[in-house]
């Protein structure tokens, strides 16, 4: 613990945690083993941080939300394992109007100046390129890549392995495996490169390509497209089930 940092006596910090100079750790903060806080990190509670996370300078973690409905209620932030928070990122706690909690999973990379707003749920192994931002109540799946300057509207859902291009503005849900780009966002194909990098076999990739054509090329309504996908999924293929679920679970409607 660097002597130039300010740490509240009630904070629970594992003995293996490294705290650099000029950090501020408030009350009701719990930090697990092998975390590293470089200089000028601010963590406000109630916040629980699991093991192996790395925080770079000027990151602000667990701050009050600027949502005007927030009136100082006790709300929470939970962070999983082995995430990297680069320079200047901001993560806010939840609000009582939702589940009172913002949640971040494991193995995510948040590049410089990214933002996770109140009540977001971020899965595992996602990549946020510089200045990508999530508005409140967004749900992000697993292995999602957000390109630089991507902005996601409140309450949107982004499915597993989806991908956004540079400067993409998202106002509706993005199905699993789908690439989107532009302002406003539009689908531009499948994230087949991402599937290959994550060890999907050729059969799975080809099956998702067929499913993509059903949804985006055949002219079906979404309801009819989902019926055709269930017929295509007669053998319960895991990748196709993920794709179908991302369509069926959409509440704002999907980008088409």
User: Which pLDDT score is estimated for 2?
Assistant: 86
Q: Give per-residue burial for 227-255: e unless 16+ CB within 10 Å, then b.
A: eebeeebeeebebbebbbebbeebeeebb
Active-site residue 118, yes or no?
Answer: yes
Whether the bond into 170 is cis, omega within 30 of 0: no
Q: How confident is the model at residue 156 (pLDDT cuts 50, 70, 90)?
A: very high
Same domain, 243 and 125: no
Active-site residue 107, yes or no?
Answer: no
User: Which pLDDT score is estimated for 25?
Assistant: 98
Per residue in 58-74, pLDDT (tens digit) is 999 999 999 999 999 99
Q: Can you read off the two tokens belonging to residue 230?
A: 């269930």
Same domain, 116 and 218: no
Residue 155 has pLDDT above 90, yes or no: yes
Per residue in 88-130, pLDDT (tens digit) is 999 999 999 999 999 999 999 999 999 999 999 999 999 999 9
- Rounded percentage of the chain residues whose pLDDT exceeds 90: 97
62: in domain? yes
Same domain, 203 and 101: no
Same domain, 201 and 102: no
Per residue in 175-186, pLDDT (tens digit) is 999 999 999 999
User: Which pLDDT score is estimated for 96?
Assistant: 96
Active-site residue identified among 119, 123, 137, 173: 119
Same domain, 100 and 204: no
Same domain, 133 and 11: yes
Active-site residue identified among 94, 133, 136, 147: 136
Give the relative orientation of helices 222-232 and 238-248 as an angle to the nearest 10 degrees: 160
170: in domain? no
Same domain, 22 and 125: yes
77: buried, middle or exposed (CB in 10 Å: 19+, 13-18, 0-12)? Answer: buried
Active-site residue identified among 38, 115, 118, 153: 118
Query: Within its chain, how far is the Cα of 171 from the centroid?
Result: 16
Domain assignment of residue 30, given as a range: 6-140
The CATH number given to whatever domain includes residue 202 is 1.20.1180.10
57: in domain? yes
Give CA–CA dist 212/229, Å, rounded: 10
Per residue in 208-241, pLDDT (tens digit) is 999 999 999 999 999 999 999 999 987 889 999 9
User: Which pLDDT score is estimated for 235?
Assistant: 82
147: in domain? no
Give CA–CA dist 152/138, Å, rounded: 8
Same domain, 135 and 71: yes
The CATH number given to whatever domain includes residue 134 is 2.160.10.10
Last residue of a domain, one of 118, 140, 162: 140
Same domain, 129 and 206: no
Structural domain total, the chain: 2
Contacts of 147 (CB under 8 A, 6+ apart): 129, 132, 163, 164, 165, 166, 167, 168, 181
Last residue of a domain, one of 106, 121, 140: 140
Per residue in 4-52, pLDDT (tens digit) is 999 999 999 999 999 999 999 999 999 999 999 999 999 999 999 999 9
222: in domain? yes
Query: Within its chain, how far is the Cα of 160 from the centroid?
Result: 10
CA neighbours closer than 13 Å in the CB half-sphere of residue 187: 20
Active-site residue 194, yes or no?
Answer: no
Same domain, 125 and 18: yes
Give one DSSP letter per residue of the chain, joined into a string. --TTSEE-TT-EE-TT-EE-TT-EE-TTEEE-TT-EE-TT-EE-SSEEE-TT-EE-TT-EEEEPP--TT--S---EEEE-SS-EE-TT-EEE---TTTTSEEEE-SS-EE-TT-EE-TT-EE-SS-EE-TT-EE-TT-EE-SS-EE-TT-EE-TT-EE-TT-EE-TT-EE-SBB-TTEEEETTTTEEEEE-HHHHHHTT--HHHHHHHHHHHHHHHTS---HHHHHHHHHHHTTT--HHHHHHHHHHHT-SS-B--
């Amino acid at each position: 613990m660097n002597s130039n940092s300010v740490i509240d006596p009630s904070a629970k910090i594992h003995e293996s945690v490294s705290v650099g100079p000029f950090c501020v750790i408030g009350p009701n903060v719990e930090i697990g083993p092998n975390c590293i806080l470089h200089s000028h990190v601010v963590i406000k509670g109630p916040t629980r941080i699991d093991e192996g996370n790395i925080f770079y300078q000027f990151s602000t973690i667990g701050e009050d939300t600027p949502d005007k409905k927030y009136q100082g209620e006790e709300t929470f932030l939970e962070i999983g394992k082995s995430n990297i928070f680069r320079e200047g990122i901001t993560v806010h706690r939840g609000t009582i109007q939702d589940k009172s909690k913002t949640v971040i999973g494991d193995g995510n990379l948040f590049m410089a100046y990214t933002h996770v707003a109140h009540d977001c749920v971020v899965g595992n192994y996602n990549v946020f390129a510089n200045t990508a931002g999530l508005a409140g109540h967004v749900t992000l799946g697993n292995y999602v890549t957000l390109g630089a300057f991507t902005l996601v509207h409140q309450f949107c859902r982004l499915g597993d392995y989806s991908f956004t291009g540079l400067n993409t503005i998202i106002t509706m849900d993005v199905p699993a495996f789908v690439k989107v780009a532009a302002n406003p966002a539009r689908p531009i194909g499948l994230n087949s490169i991402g599937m290959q990098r994550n060890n999907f076999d050729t059969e799975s990739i080809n099956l998702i390509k067929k499913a993509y054509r059903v949804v985006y090329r055949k002219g079906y309504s979404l309801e009819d497209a989902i019926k055709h996908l269930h017929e295509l999924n007669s053998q319960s293929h895991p990748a196709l089930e993920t794709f179908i679920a991302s369509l069926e679970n959409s509440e704002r409607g999907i980008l088409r």
